[in-house]
Amino acid sequence: MTQTSHQILIVEDDRAIREVLHTLLTQEGYGVIEAETAERGEIEARSHKPDLLLLDLGLPDNDGLSVVRHVRAWSSLPIIVLSARTLEEQKIASLDAGADDYVTKPFSAAELLARVRAGLRRNARGSEQSSVLQFGTVRIDLPGRRAYGPQGEIHLTTLEYRLLECLARHTGIVVRQQQLLRQVWGPDRVSDARGLRVCIKNLRDKLEPVPQRPRYILTEIGIGYRLCIEESR
């Protein structure tokens, strides 16, 4: 069970959904705070300083994006948007506003809890990056730039290490394509989507058990990529 010291703020105007989320989270041991409006959500965020925010976009008094922007102005707490809006542009707008993740309604309990755990890990880690990354049978020494698998050392190029490091800094969180290109390739290469796809493919070929069915380096279609190192439960 998760320690009850983790407090999660739910900002959702639909009472039925709030009750489902409340039950789901409390069963996992989280403390839960609730708000029905954007205004109340911002008040609760400031007063309780939660560890993570679950936020609906369609609030009665204001768009949820305003909450994202206002909270992000003073806090780096993980923000996961829960919304029935499925258009790619709306997901991108949420991430650009400062959200860390976007979950489309209806959602599965297992996926939502996995996203919550990932967000809490990011919050606890802050800007500190783990020196060792491990998933499946692969172990990667990021500072030493050395990778190992069942058959011994795995050769990764400098570019592949830089891409993996960028994903590792946001483990479990979707990283936008433009952000990866800017940080790994540089600001003059933000349109090189093909180069990014090739590098992702190379990483999967070297690190995934079955590259054609990736388990760890995942694609978020139309948005970017996510490094997921937590095994499915």
- Domain's final residue, options 125, 159, 185: 125
The number of distinct structural domains making up the chain is 2
Asked if residue 73 is part of any domain, the answer here is yes
pLDDT at 125: 56
Q: Which residue has the higher pLDDT, 56 or 73?
A: 56
Indicate if 87 and 147 belong to the same structural domain: no
Indicate if 115 and 15 belong to the same structural domain: yes
Per-residue pLDDT for 109 more than 90? yes
Residues 113-142, mean pLDDT to the nearest whole number? 76
Asked if residue 208 is part of any domain, the answer here is yes
Q: For residue 15, what are the contacts with CB-CB under 8 A and spacing of at least 6?
A: 36
Tell me which residue of 52, 61, 32, 59 sits closest to 99, measured CA to CA.
Answer: 52
| Residue 224, strand partner residues | 176, 220
Indicate if 120 and 149 belong to the same structural domain: no
Tell me the two tokens of residue 59. Answer: 């609030």
Residues 126-149, mean pLDDT to the nearest whole number? 75
CATH number at residue 47: 3.40.50.2300
Asked if residue 2 is part of any domain, the answer here is no
Q: Which residue has the higher pLDDT, 169 or 101?
A: 101
Asked if residue 232 is part of any domain, the answer here is no
Asked if residue 213 is part of any domain, the answer here is yes
Asked if residue 88 is part of any domain, the answer here is yes
CA distance 134 to 137: 7
Indicate if 119 and 24 belong to the same structural domain: yes
pLDDT at 232: 40
Indicate if 59 and 28 belong to the same structural domain: yes
Residues 115-128, mean pLDDT to the nearest whole number? 72
Residue with tokens 């959602």: 107
Indicate if 149 and 206 belong to the same structural domain: yes
Asked if residue 38 is part of any domain, the answer here is yes
Is the separation of the CB atoms in 17 and 57 below 8 Å? no
The residue range of the domain holding 64 is 7-125
Indicate if 75 and 103 belong to the same structural domain: yes
Place 37 in a pLDDT band, splitting at 50, 70 and 90: very high
- Domain's final residue, options 76, 103, 125: 125
Give the chain as a DSSP string.
---TT-EEEEE-S-HHHHHHHHHHHHHTT-EEEEESSHHHHHHHHHHH--SEEEEESB-SSSBHHHHHHHHHTT----EEEEES---HHHHHHHHHHT-SEEEESS--HHHHHHHHHHHHHHHHHTTPPPSEEEETTEEEETTTTEEEETTEEE---HHHHHHHHHHHTTTTS-EEHHHHIIIII-GGGTT-HHHHHHHHHHHHHHH-SSTTS-SSEEEETTTEEEE--SPP-
Indicate if 24 and 104 belong to the same structural domain: yes
- Domain's final residue, options 107, 125, 143: 125
Indicate if 106 and 174 belong to the same structural domain: no
Indicate if 92 and 143 belong to the same structural domain: no
CA distances to 33, 55, 69 from 42, in Å: 12, 11, 10
Mean pLDDT, the chain, integer: 86
Is the separation of the CB atoms in 30 and 24 below 8 Å? no
Asked if residue 1 is part of any domain, the answer here is no
CATH number at residue 206: 1.10.10.10
Indicate if 21 and 115 belong to the same structural domain: yes
Q: What are the tens digits of pLDDT across the range 92-108? A: 888 888 888 999 888 89
Indicate if 116 and 137 belong to the same structural domain: no
Per-residue pLDDT for 120 more than 90? no
